[in-house]
């Protein structure tokens, strides 16, 4: 995540809160937002999961980010051995939902 550190102009890695804020910033560079969404998959935090679930279901968001949010959630939940709630999955955009197809 060193490029993200450079983006935030700090010596430390960005916090999950900074990554969520950047991922949601529609005025920011799309590619960097996409990278921030994937970087969120490193964190097992309820607020990260909530932000990714929201993004995965946002039909007004760029499809690339919706897809990446679904991918990030899959990474987190797979690592946690968590069985995703099917109601949550059903509310996701198809681009995000595809990661949970059986």
How far apart are alpha carbons 34 and 3 in whole angstroms?
Answer: 13
How far apart are alpha carbons 53 and 70 in whole angstroms?
Answer: 8
Give the pLDDT confidence of 56-84 residue by residue, as tens digits.
999 999 999 999 999 999 999 999 999 99
pLDDT band at 95 (very low <50, low <70, confident <90, very high): very high
pTM: 0.88
Give the pLDDT confidence of 9-52 residue by residue, as tens digits.
667 889 999 999 999 999 999 999 999 999 999 999 999 999 99
CA distance readout (Å), 100 to 19, 29, 64, 78: 24, 28, 17, 10
Domain that holds residue 14: 2-100
How far apart are alpha carbons 4 and 26 in whole angstroms?
Answer: 17
Domains identified in the chain, total number: 1
Note the pLDDT of residue 10.
60
């Amino acid at each position: 995540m060193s490029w993200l550190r450079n983006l935030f102009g700090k010596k430390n890695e960005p916090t999950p809160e900074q990554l969520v804020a950047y991922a949601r910033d529609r005025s920011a560079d799309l590619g960097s937002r996409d990278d921030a969404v994937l970087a969120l998959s490193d964190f097992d935090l309820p607020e990260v999961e909530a932000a990714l679930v929201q993004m995965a279901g946002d039909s007004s968001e760029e499809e690339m980010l919706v897809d990446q949010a679904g991918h990030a959630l899959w990474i987190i939940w797979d690592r946690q051995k968590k069985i995703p709630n099917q109601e949550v999955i059903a509310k996701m955009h198809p681009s995000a939902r595809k990661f949970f197809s059986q």
